[in-house]
Amino acid sequence: NAGVTQTPKFRVLKTGQSMTLLCAQDMNHEYMYWYRQDPGMGLRLIHYSVGEGTTAKGEVPDGYNVSRLKKQNFLLGLESAAPSQTSVYFCASSYGTRTGAADYGYTFGSGTRLTVV
């Protein structure tokens, strides 16, 4: 099925460990996004990409790095995990600039639940 696939779905890390979350989309979307969701905070934008080879910081970028070497993939890295990074991470993708209605085609992955102990 077409959509956004996130791997892994669950992960437990020890403080100081590193890991990479993978997001893959097969809809040929130009834009991709990483969010984190914490209780009572909604979804907050970590980093985003408007095309292959480009990345930019969102609202809460500290402690994370991203890369988009291929249009269909957007990787989120934690170099040295901290307990404050315990969260649910969502990847999303969309078309670029559109006019009119909700035709940006925002599509979300199913999320990655990360616990840092």
Partner 1 sequence: AQKITQTQPGMFVQEKEAVTLDCTYDTSDPSYGLFWYKQPSSGEMIFLIYQGSYDQQNATEGRYSLNFQKARKSANLVISASQLGDSAMYFCAMRDPLAGTALIFGKGTTLSVSS
In angstroms, give the least distance from the CB of 15 to partner 1. 25
Q: Which is nearer to partner 1, 54 or 80 (CB)?
A: 54
Verify binding: residue 73, partner 1, rule CB under 8 A: no
- Residues in the chain, how many? 117
Contact indicator for 115, 15 with CB cutoff of 8 Å: no
How many residues bind partner 1, per CB under 8 A? 29
66 binds partner 1 (CB under 8 A): no
Instruction: State both tokens at 100.
Output: 């009119």
Read off the tokens for 107.
Answer: 């599509």
- In 3D space, the residue among 104, 107, 66 whose CA is nearest the CA of residue 90 turns out to be 107
Q: How far apart are CA 112 and CA 69, in angstroms?
A: 21
Using the rule CB under 8 A, which residue among 6, 25, 85, 94 binds partner 1? 94
Nearer to partner 1, 61 or 63 (CB): 61
Residue 24 C-alpha from the chain's centroid? 10
Nearer Cβ to partner 1, position 17 or 86?
86
Among the listed ranges 17-25, 64-72, 74-82, 104-112, the one in contact with partner 1 (CB under 8 A) is 104-112
Contact yes or no for 108/92 (Cβ under 8 A): yes
**DSSP 8-state symbol, 85:** G
In the complex, the residues that contact partner 1 under the rule CB under 8 A are 31, 33, 35, 40-45, 48-50, 56, 58-59, 88, 90, 92, 94, 96-97, 100-102, 104, 106, 108, 110-111
